[in-house]
């Protein structure tokens, strides 16, 4: 870390106000503002401390299991035809997704700040499990807010969090999904500002969270660059990742932002279809607004009321997106497309059948797009897709969608 | 002189503090909330705070969250909230009205258009919960150009080093969030208030109102003893909720119960001589 980029770099953001272009910022109540500033100061101090990154790296290597492999999905490539498809296998991390990369960084920061209690929000439960895990590792009490709808559809992860010693609080406001869990976590934080650290799961929230989570997740793209260079001696042509809040995508994309030859494609959840009201495609169908501490693209009605998102994947079921993605969308550095529930389910089965990897429904959305894109490319071209989570947690949802009784 | 400044000056001359009751626009329906608003001045409201419904009120507890949900279910929009104020102004030109809400519905309306329309409707000040000093430039110019006070929140976590920054852009009055927490939960102790208010006074001549956790007449009296005004929200909403039927519809007593509560609060506030 402690990177310094030139003025022409797309990696130099955010500015001192936490803005990426007009997106980002710190739109929180005054009660939280001093704490947000304290988190920012502590994070800057940690970055400047030569001991911090090596400590984090040691945990990532010996506990998380990094680097995660870069896998040439040869059978899948043959099956769909066209460009070579590589998977960045972040589903092999301890706890089964990329979420732990950032949880590990944030809990080390919480410890440096002397915080004694951790809270988090979770959608699919992957971030909740990763947070509960690092809390168990460091012996800190952990409270996870999870929408009641998600508690029901992600039962295995709820049990996992409880086994890890976390308290899981079902949230029943709104549609009882990720957005509402984040509201409730922010309310908890306001009431417990002095002793509590909020480990946010995605590249959203007030500054410095979008920057901090991005920095911790950028290990994904940095490893990919080195690994693909070893395997192919060059940069990929395209990087593809699924987008809910956007943390796994940002982690893969950020190290490639200045490599202008590399196409970067984020895949939002189109739910039942972009032209229905049941999707989670904030960039494709939303407009800029302010929610959860940052200015970004949001699904909202004409009166500025936030709309409920829908996706078969609980992790993508969020009406907003990280502010840096909003900026990358506006400057057109990253392309944002969408995949429906049905396309993701098909891709889920394709991956399982051809590669022996059960992906989470989140990266199944990315694969749904890869499946369309690869056949349009030449055989010597390369796509890297972030396989950011494993699908064990989703088998009940998938069985239900396929009409199978377990 | 603005309505807010005039009202606080008059109260100072009278030697007492302000009662600032809150109502959520269109909760539980347009007619009931309008009738409550109309009745508040006669019941003893010195200033009135109107909540602008929002789907994601992150600083509010369950009581205000549910009030917002009922309001949105009854069809509330920002246009409707402003229309309530216009209607109120046809019969009352003295009682200051402050809108309290979250930024996104205002951004969606357009900040310039919103400030113009709010001022034309007769709004005197804005409290925007998720617009801290660091982001206030987004609204400050439009608010000022339209004579709207931007009322800042000061919290127990706002330390002495930060107070000047927060107060620099404040006008109208200072809203002291008396607890670290969400609305309708905990109440600050008299000792906490006795520490906090003089600390803020050192930095400003503006009147200070205390909100979050002020529920009973006794608590309202304690708040105006320590500061210049008391904001009561969740307790009034709870009073009204008790009168709703199983479907959340207003009953025959809904308006009277809220206004009776306002009268009791006003009596306690007026009994404190300053």
Give the count of domains, chain B.
1
Most confident by average pLDDT, A150-154, B172-176, B188-192: B172-176
- Cβ(B138)–Cβ(B150) under 8 Å? no
The span from the CA of A28 to the CA of A22, in Å, is 17
Give the chain B residue nearest A304 (alpha carbons).
B105
Looking at chain A, how many residues does it have?
406
Which of B57, B109, B135 is opposite residue A27, by nearest beta carbon?
B135
Matching residue, tokens 């920002």: B78
Q: How many CA atoms lie within 13 A of B158 on its CB side?
A: 26
Q: How far apart are alpha carbons B18 and B229 in whole angstroms?
A: 4
Residues A196-238: pLDDT tens digits? 999 999 999 999 999 999 999 999 999 999 999 999 999 999 9
- Sheet order of strands, A287-291 included: A19-20, A23-27, A293-298, A287-291
- Confirm or reject contact between B162 and chain A (CB < 8 A): yes
CA distance B26 to B39: 15
User: Of A127-131, A264-268, A389-393, B89-93, which range is least confident?
Assistant: A389-393
Closest alpha carbon to A313 in A364, A351, A277, A250: A364
* Cβ burial, residue B185 (10 Å; 0-12/13-18/19+): middle
Per the CB < 8 A criterion, the answer to whether B61 and B182 are in contact is: yes
Task: State the DSSP code for B156.
Answer: T
Count the neighbouring beta carbons within 10 Å of the beta carbon of residue A242: 33
A306 close to A299: Cβ distance less than 8 angstroms: yes
**Residues 16 to 55 of B: which have CB under 8 A from any A CB?**
53-55
pLDDT tens digit sequence for B25-37: 999 999 999 999 9
Q: How confident is the model at residue A1 (pLDDT cuts 50, 70, 90)?
A: very low
Question: How many CA atoms lie within 13 Å of A149's alpha carbon, on the beta-carbon side?
Answer: 19
Indicate the pTM of the whole model: 0.96
**Residue B190 to residues A8, B178, B196, B225, Cα–Cα distance (Å):** 56, 10, 10, 10
For residue B144, the model assigns a pLDDT of: 96
Alpha-carbon dihedral sign for residues A382, A383, A389, A395: negative
Q: How far apart are CA A287 and CA A297, in angstroms?
A: 5
Of A91-100, A304-313, B90-99, B116-125, the poorest mean pLDDT is in A304-313
What's the confidence (pLDDT) of residue A185? 96
**Is B49 labeled as catalytic in the residue annotation?**
yes
- Rounded to whole angstroms, how far apart are CA atoms B224 and B203? 19
Tokens describing residue A57: 């790296």
Helix axes A209-217, A99-112, angle to 10 degrees: 120
Q: Do B132 and A26 touch (CB under 8 A)?
A: yes
User: What are the CA-CA distances from residue B33 to residues B84, B85, B124 (Å)?
Assistant: 9, 11, 19
Helices and strands, number each (H, E), in chain A: 16, 14
Catalytic, out of B24, B46, B60, B117: B60
Q: Which of A18, A29, A34 to mutate to test the interface with B (most CBs of B within 10 A)?
A: A29
How far is the first Cα of chain A from the last one, in angstroms, to the nearest whole number? 46
Q: What share of chain A is helix, strand, coil (3-state, %, to 5)?
A: 45, 20, 35
Looking at chain B, which residue has its C-alpha nearest residue A28?
A: B130
Instruction: Report residue B162 as tokens.
Output: 């930060």
Mean pLDDT of B185-211: 93
Average pLDDT over residues A129-151: 96
Q: Which pLDDT band, with edges at 50, 70 and 90, does A3 fall under?
A: low
In chain B, what residues touch A298 (CB-CB under 8 Å)? 104
- Interface contact A29-B153, CB threshold 8 A: yes
Pairing of strands A19-20, A23-27: antiparallel
The DSSP annotation for A312-331 comes to: SSGGG--S---HHHHHHHHT
Q: Contact A305/B105, CB-based, under 8 Å?
A: yes
CB contact residues (below 8 A), chain A span 302-331, against chain B: 302-306
Which tens digit of pLDDT belongs to each residue from B84-133?
Answer: 999 999 999 999 999 999 999 999 999 999 999 999 999 999 999 999 99
- Phi, psi of A232, rounded to the nearest 5 degrees: -125, -10
pLDDT in tens, A180-198: 999 999 999 999 999 999 9
Q: Compute the distance between CA of residue A164 and CA of residue A137 in angstroms, rounded to an integer.
A: 9
Round to whole Å and give the CA distance between B184 and B187.
8
Q: Which residues pair with B125 in a beta bridge?
A: B98, B149
**Count of alpha carbons within 13 Å of A262, Cβ hemisphere only?**
22
Q: Which helix (H) or strand (E) segment is A184 a member of?
A: helix A178-191
B9, B10, B16, B19 alpha-carbon torsion, rounded to 10°: -90
Partner A contacted by B128 (CB < 8 A): no
Question: ipTM beyond 0.90?
Answer: yes
Helices assigned H by DSSP within chain B:
3-14, 30-43, 62-73, 78-89, 103-109, 111-121, 137-145, 163-168, 190-201, 217-226, 234-241, 254-270
Q: Is the peptide bond before A346 cis (omega within 30 degrees of 0)?
A: no
For residue A393, give both structure tokens.
């947690």
Structure tokens at A242: 């699924």
Q: Determine the residue among B66, B135, B174, B196 to mutate to test chain A binding: the one whose Cβ has the most chain A Cβ atoms within 10 Å.
A: B135
CATH code for the domain of B69: 3.20.20.70
- Higher-pLDDT residue of A292, A5: A292
By the 8 A CB rule, do A121 and A185 touch?
yes
Residues B245 and B253: their CA atoms lie apart, in Å, by 11
| Residue-number span of the structural domain to which B131 is assigned | 3-270
Cross-strand partners of A340:
A271
B chain contacts of residue A291, beta-carbon cutoff 8 Å: 56, 104
* Contact between chains at A30 and B155 (C-beta distance less than 8 A): yes
Confidence of residue A18 (pLDDT cuts 50, 70, 90): very high
pLDDT category at A2 given cuts 50, 70, 90 is very low
- The contacts of residue A226 (CB under 8 Å, 6+ apart) are none
């Amino acid at each position: 870390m402690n990177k310094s980029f030139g003025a022409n770099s797309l990696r130099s953001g955010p500015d001192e106000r936490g803005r990426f272009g007009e997106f980002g910022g710190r739109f929180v109540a005054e009660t939280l503002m001093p704490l947000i500033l304290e988190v920012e100061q502590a994070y800057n101090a940690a970055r400047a401390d030569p001991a911090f990154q090596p400590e984090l790296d040691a945990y990532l290597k010996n506990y998380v299991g990094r680097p995660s492999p870069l896998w040439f999905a040869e059978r899948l490539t043959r099956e769909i035809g066209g460009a070579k498809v590589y998977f960045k296998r972040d589903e092999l991390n301890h706890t089964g997704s990329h979420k732990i990369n950032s949880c590990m960084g944030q809990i080390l920061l919480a410890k440096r700040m002397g915080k004694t209690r951790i809270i988090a929000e979770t959608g699919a439960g992957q971030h909740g499990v990763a947070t509960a895990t690092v809390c168990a590792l460091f012996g800190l009490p952990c409270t996870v807010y999870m929408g009641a709808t998600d508690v029901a559809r992600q039962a295995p992860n709820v049990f996992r969090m409880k086994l890890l010693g976390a308290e899981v609080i079902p949230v029943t406001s709104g549609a009882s999904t990720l957005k509402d869990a984040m509201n409730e976590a922010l309310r908890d934080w306001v009431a417990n500002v002095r002793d509590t650290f909020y480990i946010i799961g995605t590249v959203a929230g007030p500054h410095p969270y979008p920057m901090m989570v991005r920095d911790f997740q950028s290990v994904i793209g940095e490893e990919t660059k080195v690994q693909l260079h070893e395997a192919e001696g060059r940069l990929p042509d395209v990087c593809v990742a699924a987008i809910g809040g956007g943390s796994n995508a940002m982690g893969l994309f950020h190290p490639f932002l200045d490599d202008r030859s590399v196409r970067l494609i984020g895949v939002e959840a189109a739910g039942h279809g972009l032209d229905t009201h049941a999707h989670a495609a904030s960039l494709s169908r939303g407009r800029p607004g302010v929610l959860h501490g940052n200015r970004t693209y949001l699904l909202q009605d004409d009166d500025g009321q936030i709309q409920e998102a829908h996706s078969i994947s609980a992790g993508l079921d969020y009406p907003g997106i990280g502010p840096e993605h909003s900026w990358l969308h506006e400057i057109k550095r990253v392309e944002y497309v969408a995949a429906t529930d049905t396309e993701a389910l098909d891709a889920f089965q394709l991956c399982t059948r051809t590669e022996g990897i059960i992906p989470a429904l989140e990266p199944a959305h990315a694969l749904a797009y890869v499946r369309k894109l690869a056949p349009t490319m030449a055989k010597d071209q390369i796509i890297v897709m972030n396989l950011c989570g494993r699908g064990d947690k989703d088998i009940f949802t998938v069985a239900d969608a396929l009409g199978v009784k377990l | 002189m603005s309505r807010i400044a005039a009202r606080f000056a008059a109260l100072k001359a009278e030697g007492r503090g302000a009662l600032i009751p809150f109502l959520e626009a269109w909760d539980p329906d347009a007619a009931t909330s309008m009738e409550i608003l109309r009745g508040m001045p006669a019941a003893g409201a010195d200033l009135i705070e109107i909540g602008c419904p929002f789907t994601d009120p992150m600083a509010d507890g369950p009581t205000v969250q549910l009030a917002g949900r009922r309001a949105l279910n009854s069809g509330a929009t920002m246009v409707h909230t402003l229309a309530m104020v216009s209607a109120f102004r046809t019969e009352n030109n003295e009682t200051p009205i402050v809108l309290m809400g979250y930024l996104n519905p205002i951004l969606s309306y357009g900040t310039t258009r919103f400030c113009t329309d709010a001022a034309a409707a007769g709004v005197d000040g804005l409290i925007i919960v998720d617009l801290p000093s660091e982001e206030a430039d987004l609204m400050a110019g439009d608010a000022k150009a339209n004579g709207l006070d931007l009322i800042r929140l000061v919290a127990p976590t706002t330390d002495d080093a930060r107070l000047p920054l927060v107060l620099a852009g404040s006008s109208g009055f200072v809203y002291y969030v008396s607890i670290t927490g969400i609305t309708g939960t905990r109440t600050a102790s008299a000792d906490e208030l006795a520490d906090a208010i003089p600390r803020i006074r050192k930095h400003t001549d503006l009147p200070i109102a205390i909100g979050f956790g002020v529920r009973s007449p006794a608590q309202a009296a304690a708040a105006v003893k320590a500061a210049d005004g008391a904001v009561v929200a969740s307790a009034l909403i709870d009073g009204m909720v008790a009168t709703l039927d199983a479907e959340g519809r207003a009953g025959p007593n809904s308006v009277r119960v809220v206004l009776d509560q306002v009268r009791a609060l006003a009596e306690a506030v007026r009994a404190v001589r300053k």
